[in-house]
Chain A
Amino acid sequence: MLTVFLQFLFSGLTVGAVYALVGIGFNIVYNATSIINLAQGEFVVIGGLMMWFFSESLNLPFFLSAGLAIVSAGFIGFLMERLTIKPLKNPDLLLMIMITIAVSIVLRGVLMFGFGKEPYVYPSFTEGEPISIYGAIIQQQALWVIGITGFCIILLFFFFKRTIIGKAMLACSVNTTAAKLVGINVSKMVMLSFILSAVVGAIGGMAITPISLMEYDKGPMLAVKGFCAAIMGGLGSNRGAVLGGFIIGILESMTAGYLHSGMKDAVALVILLLILFFRPAGIFVSKTMMQLRKF
């Protein structure tokens, strides 16, 4: 009993870590620009597939492949921002939504063209026996996923709270004019936010591929679940996104395990709808914060 429960718990934590990273990616762009980048999920896929490309297809050593994969993802984030976001002056909301969707379709198209529709995989980061906790079997890679996610979160925390660049990024969406007036290069910050969110997503993709493989069209579902994680904690709050991601991952895993595996995607969706309908400001958010946020 406990074994089974722990098994589901850990698999939930593992997949939840990726959702958390996607959610954080949403937050990074949102915090700098007030845009919600619906192409966020594609960066995860790019991370996984590019890692395969460098390590398996080109047979480059691990760290080099990882570095190149991260750079590729960052570069695509850069391209996206420069080509489609920056040229727009005063975009209305609908246009933004549509453009990020359009970009996600283009990215998916390119991935399909380059990698086809089959799933890809590469070996776990470390070889070794799975760990056993009270009978539950946990692969080493799962620990890597959770560990790397935790590490990213801590890094990002310091970045946004303690560095000038991080704070500048946050300032941009709070009050763009004021940010410009104090000398912040808003345009650069926006670009940086896209690159950073792409990198964060890609890291998640790179870590999870050895466990659940990667296909060209996993993007949208990841985006939806990651977005769900982001709004659970209140859009813009990384702490919330992390908690949200893990909660969704665990609930999903429990649903698949105890109830019906076909329903597992529905879990995140139902949670998403419930939150949007009843607590769009996030469930960890206080009442005054709720009134102050605008939708």
Chain B
Amino acid sequence: MIKGVIVKKSDLPFFLIFVFLILLLPVVSGSSYTLTVGIFCGINAMVAIGLCILMGYAGQVSLGQAGFYGIGAYVSSILSLHFGIPVVISIILAMMVAAIAAVILAVPALRLKGHYLAVATLGFGEIIFIILNEWGPGGPSGFGDIPHFSLLGYVINSTTGYYYLIWGSVAAVMLFSINLINSRTGRALRAIHDSELACNAMGLNVVALKLKVFILSAVYASLAGSLYAHYITFVSPSSFSLFYSILLLMMVIVGGITNLWGAIIGAVVITVLPELLRKFQEFDVLVYGLILTLTLMFFRKGLVPILIEKMKKFSGGAVANH
């Protein structure tokens, strides 16, 4: 059956529900505002999925994802705007730049553990921010006129169009990621998380694996950044600061670090929250902080794993577990 080939049978129901929900939104509420929020949920979800694989499966920490996100946005914009390179090619080139940056960071950084790794990635993210702030076109004010996304002559310039483009990309990224998690690589990553010692004894090249996951998460972030740039057609360094890296961390943790779907749920929750709290303008940082703290203390596992546990208790039956 074709379906068994594209993704494992047990994941299929969830994936179909996911696709269904995506398609549902524009039907239920076609308003530009809802779709725009939806687009940002999607963009954040893409970065969050990469971070989730890095943190939840491979057990590494990164406080610098905003850096790769920024690289994706800036490189793709500059290539397409100033060098006239087709958008799709620019996006791919940006992913390659992000991959290279990931290697430069990861090769020395992966020798570090815990706090040191966290701070190293934080430092990296900040350095990218400073570079963009000082030497990016337009400096701190950023620049605009970035070409819209276009493929083979067909340009996307409607909100609905971008909604489908971005969520379509998230779906593709999700498929890829689910397959990866269910493969020998996914098992290897989870094994590394549990016992690096045993992994070495089984002949796994732990360093190479960690490096590849880092690159993967960087590439996802870069893709998201590029799509963001071509959607908004304007970028400025402030979108790529440490605060965004921390926000991403929150998304993954709130959603549940051990579950890919958690990354999407977490992204949606964290993206929608400020919209709901719009009236509490001065409180927003505080509310974020409280939510994060409370989640960490009482819902450490995250929304999705806790939901799955509750469902398991009810049905006592097989619910797909990643």
Contact = CB atoms under 8 A, between A and B. Distances in A.
Contacts of A84: 293, 297
A81 interface: no
B212 interface: no
Given A94-B61, A224-B123, A273-B127, A109 B115 contact: no
Interface string A63-107: 000000000000000000000100110000111011101111111
A220 interface: yes
A152 interface: no
B161 interface: no
Contacts of A276: 108-109, 112, 116, 119-120, 123
Interface string A224-265: 100100010000000000000000000000000000101101
Contacts of B296: 95, 98-99, 102
B282 interface: yes
**Overall SS of chain A's interface:** helix
Given A97-B61, A113-B283, A273-B124, A106 B289 contact: yes
Given A97-B118, A269-B123, A102 B289 contact: yes
Contacts of A227: 119
Given A112-B285, A112-B286, A101 B249 contact: yes
A109 B283 contact: yes
A162 B176 CA distance: 60
Interface residues of A, number: 41
Interface range on chain B: under 10, 10 to 19, 20 to 34, or 35 or more? Answer: 35 or more
B65 to A, nearest CB: 14
Contact of B287 (A109, A266, A273, A295): A109
A44 interface: no
A167 B289 CA distance: 35
Contacts of B109: 276-277
A263 B282 contact: no
A282 to B, nearest CB: 12
B246 interface: yes
A105 B108 contact: no
Interface string B239-258: 00010001001000100010
Nearest to A93: B114
A277 B108 contact: yes
A120 B56 CA distance: 41
A105 B120 contact: no
A95 B61 CA distance: 11
B289 A108 contact: yes
Contact of B122 (A106, A224, A277, A280): A224
21 contacts: A88-B297, A95-B300, A98-B292, A101-B292, A103-B293, A104-B289, A105-B246, A105-B292, A106-B289, A112-B282, A112-B286, A220-B242, A231-B116, A269-B127, A273-B108, A273-B127, A276-B112, A277-B109, A277-B120, A278-B108, A295-B114
Given A98-B292, A101-B292, A109-B288, 15 more contacts: A36-B115, A98-B253, A102-B293, A105-B293, A106-B290, A109-B289, A224-B119, A227-B119, A265-B126, A272-B119, A273-B124, A276-B119, A276-B120, A277-B111, A295-B111
Interface of A: 36, 84, 87-88, 93-95, 97-99, 101-110, 112-113, 116, 220, 224, 227, 231, 260, 262-263, 265-266, 269-270, 272-273, 276-278, 280, 295
